[in-house]
Every structure is written in C-alpha cells, then in structure tokens.
Amino acid sequence: MNLSDKKLWIFDVDNTLIKDIEHPKPFKDALTLWKALSEKGYELAILTNVGRLSSRQVQKSLAKAGFEIPSDRVFTAGAAAAAYVHNRSPGARCFVISEGGAREDFVARGLDVTNNPPIDFVAVGADRGMTFDELNFATKMVKEGSPLICISGSRDYPGVYLGTDGIFIGERSIVAAIEDATGAQAVIVGKPLPEIVVETVKILNQQSSDTVLVGDNPNSDIAGGNAAGVTTVLVKRNPDDIVPYDSGDMDATPSVTVKSLDELISQI
Ligand SMILES: [Mg+2]
C-alpha cells in the first residue's frame, strides 16, 4: 500500500512508540519512522488510552524517549472524556477518580472537579491510590443518577507505582464494581470508541481518508481506527504486552500489518 498521499499520522503510545508510559524506552523502528515522517513534513499526533496521566505528562514522557511533539497534539483518554462531558454539559461538576492526569485534563476543559455533591458526572480512570471511600462515593452518586464514564477500558495494565513494577487493576475493572453495585452501565471513552478518533482528526483539521492510525492493539487501535474510516497499521509487538480491550463486533482487521515500523519508510 502506498501511504505517501496521507497527511496525518496518529500514533498509539504503549507498546507502539515506547514499551509503556512508565517504562519510556523507545522502540528503535518507531523512532526511525517518526523521524522520517517529521522530515518529510507529515502531521503527527498521539492518541493514547492512558487516562491516569495528562496530555502534558504524556508529552514529557515521549520527549524523553525522543518523540518530540507539542502537547496540544497529544490526545489522552482523560482529555477525550473531558471533551465528552464538556460537549454535553459545559462546566459540569465531576467526581473524577484517577491519578491526577485525568483531573488535570478535566480542569483544562473548564469542568468543575469536586469531591462533594451535587455531582453531574462520575468519571473513573485507573487509580492505584484509590480509597474505599472514593469508590463508595462514586457508587452512591451513580445510584443517585450521575452518568458513569469509564476513562479508557483496560482490565489490567503494566506499570510502575510507588517504586513497584508490576501489573495493576485497570479502570474497566474498577468501573465493573460500580456497575455491579448500581445496575448502571458506563460509557467507555477511549479507543476503540470511533468518536475519539474522528474527533482527533477533526480537531487537527484533517480528513479520515487522509489519516493513518498506527498501533499494536487490534481491539483498541485497529477496531477504533477502522470504524472511524482511517487507514490502520498494526505493528506486531510482544503479544504479552498487548493490553486486553473489548471491541465487541467491530472489525479489528488492519489495513496494513508490519513486523517493524521501519518497513513503512519505503511507502512514504
Ligand atoms: Mg498500545
């Protein structure tokens, strides 16, 4: 496939550009492609399902690994969730469970992040310091009618927290507890939700037909990209490092599959 007529390249982060956000070691093939795309003047952007860190924090981590990009071209699941709430209710009062990143993205969108009722929206991201009281309060607010938003949809994920390297329970699993206790169903804002891909393309003033989305995960990156009408590139990484997501009956077949991202250089 010839990709030279594309204008915008959107990249996933974890297991595509770097090992993961808390182990920001770059993949060499990704860095080579990134530099080639930059030199040729393609537009670059980031769309990550990480919700515990803000766009600014993700941008810093990427810069350290050699991927230079302005933070207004870095789209996180937290920023997407904030946009989702803002589009429905600007300035809404939100109870946000997350490690600070999503809170920062919510505040940046002009939403009122608060720990006291009344609560218009409950938004839950991965949070390894979450307390029982927070989970209980979120459950109570959802029971009383606040819509529940799951910031991205991973059941578990690898990372480092308080110096411990390991696998941690993800936001989808925390939200499952609230759903079970309330009977409510969360809206999952993160890949593979096609709207966030469409929205990212639109914010950058591009067309889906001119856009390539590159990722390691068929069920999040590829399914979401296909449904949004962009060209999808799957890079084959270590299968053990692919975070589990649910893509339902969406098509997770990539337009292009590569073992190494530098294989694409001859096509740009
Ligand atoms: Mg990934």
CB 170 within 8 A of CB 155: yes
Collect all residues with Cβ–Cβ distance below 8 Å to 244 and sequence separation of at least 6.
154, 155, 156, 219
Residue 182 alpha carbon to ligand 1 centre in Å: 31
Query: What is residue 241's predicted lDDT score, i.e. its pLDDT?
Result: 86
In the reported structure, the alpha carbon of residue 218 is separated from the centroid of ligand 1 by a whole-number distance in angstroms of 9
What distance in angstroms lies between residue 124's CA and the mean position of ligand 1's atoms? 20
Cα–Cα distance for residue pair 119/63, rounded to 1 Å = 36
Strand pairing class (156-161; 164-169): antiparallel
For residue 209, being part of any structural domain is answered with yes
pTM for this entry = 0.86
Rg (CA), the chain: 18
54 within domain boundaries: no
Expressed in angstroms and rounded, the spacing between residue 75 Cα and the centre of ligand 1 is 14
**235, 28 in Cβ contact below 8 A?**
no
| Residue 103: inside a domain | yes
Task: State in Å: Cα 216 to ligand 1 middle.
Answer: 5
- The reply to whether 3 falls in a domain is no
The answer on 27 and 108 residing in a single domain is no
Average pLDDT of each block of 10 consecutive residues along the chain (268 residues)?
93 95 93 98 96 90 96 91 92 96 93 98 96 98 98 90 94 97 95 91 95 97 98 94 86 98 96
**How many structural domains is the chain composed of?**
2
**181 C-alpha to ligand 1 centroid (Å):** 30
Q: Is residue 230 part of a domain?
A: yes
Q: Which of 189, 209, 238 is the last residue of a domain?
A: 189
Check whether residue 126 and residue 170 sit in a common domain. yes
Asked if 195 and 257 sit in the same domain, the reply is yes
Report how far apart the first and last C-alpha atoms of the chain are (Å, whole number): 10
**Per-residue pLDDT, 231:** 98
Question: Which of 148, 166, 189 is where one domain is finished?
Answer: 189
Q: Is 228 found in the same domain as 176?
A: no
Domain of residue 120: give its range: 89-189
The enclosing domain of 199 has a CATH number of 3.40.50.1000
> Residue 250, class by beta-carbon neighbours within 10 Å (0-12 exposed, 13-18 middle, 19+ buried)?
middle
Question: 117 near 88, Cβ under 8 Å?
Answer: no
- Position 208 in a domain: yes
Cα 235 to middle of ligand 1, angstroms: 10
Distance CA 14, CA 17 (A): 6
In a domain, 195, yes or no: yes
- Same domain? 100 vs 161: yes
Residue 229 CA to ligand 1 center (angstroms) comes to 19
Q: Which of 132, 162, 189 is the last residue of a domain?
A: 189
Q: Does residue 73 form part of some domain? A: no
State whether 229 and 178 are in the same domain.
no
**146 & 178 share domain:** yes
pLDDT score, position 145: 98
